[in-house]
Every structure is written in C-alpha cells, then in structure tokens.
Amino acid sequence: MRLLTILVFLLGTYSALACYTMPADAARDHGALVDEATAIVLLEVVQSGESCSLKVVHVLKGKAPKTLTVRCKLAGDGDWMTDFSNHNDDDFWERRGGRLGINGDCTVLPPAFAPGKMYLALLGIAPDTKQYEEIGDNNDRWLAFVEERVERERKVEN
C-alpha cells in the first residue's frame, strides 16, 4: 500500500510538471508585443553555440548595441527553423505562436540560430515564442507588420 501511495504521488508530481498547452503569456498578441518591446532589431548571426553573438544590422525601435549576446543553441535536428513562408502562414497570425518552442515546464525554449539567416528580435519583453523570428527576405509579412506598427507608434508620440 505504501509503495502504491508513493507511485501515485510521483506520477501526480510528474504530470504537474508537464506543459500540455501553450501558456497564453508565451504567445501574446502581435501588436501588443511590438508596443511592449523597448527595442526591435534585425540581427545577423556572427557566432552560435551555447551563447550566440548577433550583429545588429538595423534598429527599428529603441536603442541597441552593435552586437548582442543571447543564450541560445546552434540549430540542429528537432529545431523548428521556419519563417512561416515569409510569415504568410495563417497559423502564425491566428494561433499567435512563433518559431520558439515550449519546455515541459511551460517556459520558452532558448532560440536556435542558423548562420546566414536574419532574425527580428523584440527586446525588453517577457519571453514569447515570437521573440526571435527568422526573416526570409524584405517581403516578410512579420517584418512589414512590425515596421508599420513602429511607424504608427512614432506618429502618435509626435
């Protein structure tokens, strides 16, 4: 009986640690994220490993250093390396989820970066699955959305 009680307790504890659905605060509204960010930058991967060195190519909002160092990992098997077809995929917009995954404890996984790719980073926000989105090219819908939202924000401030 004692063994059964211990097994039930352990299974109950394990299931409490599992993350069955994406937490709402890890996939927030697109516009709210842009508004919340203190800086938004286009990045180019300089070096990747456990911490990535990223060169700031363009600042869209706020102020940022010329390079950033971010906890990350080198892209590998099992990483979802996508730009959602230049962010034209409806899933990106309707489900609010980005390319970053969720750990079993419901925290956002560190980003994986691939050399030669560009990323749009929203800095100064709570972790979100859209925080480091891969940008396919200048026609990327997420990039256009962010640029338009930032420009609208500037006009309101002036």
Q: Is 12's pLDDT higher than 60? A: no
Candidates 117, 23, 42; CA nearest to 79 is 117
What is the structure's pLDDT at 57? 96
What is the structure's pLDDT at 26? 66
131 close to 100: Cβ distance less than 8 angstroms: yes
What is the structure's pLDDT at 1? 53
DSSP symbols for 31-77: HHHHHH-SEEEEEEEEE-SSEEEEEEEEEEES---SEEEEE-EE--T
Q: For 57-112, what is each residue's pLDDT tens digit?
A: 999 999 999 999 988 876 777 666 778 888 888 888 887 777 877 777 888 888 88
Q: Which residues contact 51 (CB under 8 A, 6 or more apart)?
A: 69, 70, 71, 72
What is the structure's pLDDT at 149? 95
pTM of the entire structure? Answer: 0.79
Domains of the chain in sequence order: 21-157 (2.40.50)
